[in-house]
Amino acid sequence: MNAEAANKLLKLLEEPPLGTYFFMICHQPDKLLPTILSRCQVITLQPSSPEEICDYLCRHLNADQDKAMIAARLAKGSFGRAVKLLKEAEITADEAHRIEDILDAALLHDLTKLIGYAEDLAELGRERQKDFCIYAESYIRKIFMFANNAQSISFAMQKEYSLLNKYASSIKADFYHKALIFLDLAILAIGSNVNSKLVFIDLCNRFYLYI
């Protein structure tokens, strides 16, 4: 919200029409004018957990549990986003395993395979590319938790344990933080319409160098 719009909103809040109530939703309240915040009753809502969303998808939409959990994690607390992901079939087993393929190739220092995976990712639509990066971030966080004996808070499914333990024993300790930065930069680049092939070749090359 720019300064002009904020000042107009402030004036409306200071002199509201009789019997009028305003319900405002803001994801970044720290960016609002303090004078606006001071005239509001702030109610902080926490995003729903992946487990809550997964349970809803399974009970009300008869979704497959594994696909429901993947969608729930990608949705970042949004029930609507999770339902959209399922209905549009954006989450498939192959897509969920892309990060595993990339990690395997990086650990084997197989640059040819990595470039191939980067080219495959570049063929996806931009929203699917962002979904991949978000899923990859959550997957790498799970590996980090396994590497630090925090499996109980990783939200990993039992069938993932063997593979996560394998990665946790093979990946360098300083890779996790770097990988999350690389993925965040990739998301920003995708949102800025940077050439997708360059984005993912750069990402895979960084995994190759630092894993």
- Three-state SS at 59: helix
CB 133 within 8 A of CB 186: yes
Q: Rounded to two decimals, what is the model's pTM? A: 0.66
Quote the pLDDT of residue 90.
57
Query: 126-171: per-residue pLDDT in tens?
Result: 988 998 998 899 899 999 999 999 998 887 878 889 999 999 999 9
Given this model, what pLDDT does residue 27 score?
Answer: 77
Contact 78, 47 (CB under 8 A): yes
- Give the amino acid at 126: R
What sign has the CA pseudo-torsion 181, 95, 169, 146?
positive
> Tokens 């696909």 belong to which residue?
67
The residue whose two tokens read 């997964």 is 54
Which residues, at least 6 apart from 138, have a Cβ–Cβ distance to it below 8 Å? 73, 74
Structure tokens at 33: 């004018």
Buried b (16+ CB within 10 A) or exposed e, 55-94: bbbbeeeebeeebbbbbbbbbeeebebbbebbeeebbeee
Query: Comparing C-alpha atoms, which of 135, 134, 108, 118 is closest to residue 198?
Result: 118
Express each pLDDT in 78-108 by its tens digit. Answer: 898 889 888 765 555 666 789 999 999 999 9
How far apart are the C-alpha atoms of 48 and 150, rounded to whole Å? 22
- Residue of 204, 57, 190 lying closest to 120 (CA atoms): 204
Distance (Å, whole) CA 90 – CA 67: 10
pLDDT in tens, 109-118: 999 999 999 9
* 191: exposed, middle or buried (Cβ count in 10 Å: 0-12, 13-18, 19+): exposed
